[in-house]
Amino acid sequence: MVGFRKYGISPYSVVLLHGGPGAPGTMKPLAEILSQEFGIIEPMQTQKTIIGQVNELEEILKKEGEPPFVLIGHSWGAWLGYIFAAKELLEIKRLILVGSGPFQEKYVESIDKTRSERLTEKDIGNMDEIMGRILNNPDNKEIISRFEKIMSKIDSYDPISMESPILEFQPDVFSSIMAEVKRLRKSGMLLNLGRKIKSPVTAFHGDFDPHPFKGVKEPLAQVIENFSFYLLEKCGHVPWQEREAQEKFLQMLKEEIKRA
């Protein structure tokens, strides 16, 4: 799998960090839209440790990018960008978090509760079957596609498309990274990293996203001096794929990039 993709023209200073972890390629639709105005780098994170992904990102940006950078991270990518910015490895103009997971443990329980409430009995049966088959055959693309569609249904308000641009689901990367970052969050170390971030930080979050927006807004407001938060109405976990929120999100996102 290619280590990165580029879109638009130089300077390549806007960096899109995908979620998952272990879901490379999911930022392509956003990259294609933003590339009409900006030079974009879309790194593919492959390493199985947080420090491995941080080092991997640093290497790609040093070789292919043109600082100072605007980091835009979605879901897990929001946390990766946050950790990367705290390390002060390269010059970051602005960090933008989209659909981030909560930064404190007390907000976590509501995620599964919200998702469970949105599942139909048919979805629950399908999920049980799919998870069993994924464990036995993690490379089965048809099963992965079914899983993604159910998750998209749960996490979206009114999605434009149910098709996923993921290149290759990496369950080993997902399991390893999530175990590590959950320990960081539970210990309080994840949130405390925010005190080291010197660049402005902006967070976008959908009001229908099962990840509670208060778990991003309230903790980060305590540790980041230059912090802005925008709650998007009628919007799920992936704002650029939401029919009701896409236009407003893209307009605001472009303004944040230019403001950087």
Residue 20 phi/psi, 5° resolution?
120, -95
Identify the CA nearest to 16 among candidates 63, 48, 60. Answer: 60
40 band by pLDDT with thresholds 50, 70 and 90: very high
- pTM of the predicted model, to two decimals? 0.92
120-125, Cβ contacts within 8 angstroms, sequence gap of 24 or more: 123/150, 123/153, 123/154
CATH class assigned to 4-107+166-259:
alpha beta
Q: Map out the domains of the chain as residue ranges.
A: 4-107+166-259
- The two three-digit tokens of residue 260, written as one number: 């950087």
What is the rounded distance in angstroms from the CA atom of residue 16 to the CA atom of residue 78? 9
Beta bridge mates, 95 = 71, 201
pLDDT digits (tens, 9 = 90+) for 47-99: 999 999 999 999 999 999 999 999 999 999 999 999 999 999 999 999 999 99
DSSP letters spanning 94-105:
EEEEESPPPSSG
Read off the amino acid at residue 51: I
Mean pLDDT of 4-22: 95
What is the rounded distance in angstroms from the CA atom of residue 193 to the CA atom of residue 36? 33
pLDDT above 90 covers what percent of the chain? 74
The pLDDT of residue 73 is 98
Identify the CA nearest to 4 among candidates 39, 31, 35, 44. Answer: 44
The pLDDT of residue 163 is 75
The pLDDT of residue 131 is 63
pLDDT digits (tens, 9 = 90+) for 186-223: 999 999 999 999 999 999 999 999 999 999 999 999 99
Asked whether the beta carbons of 79 and 73 are under 8 A apart, the reply is yes
**Res. 8: pLDDT tops 90:** yes
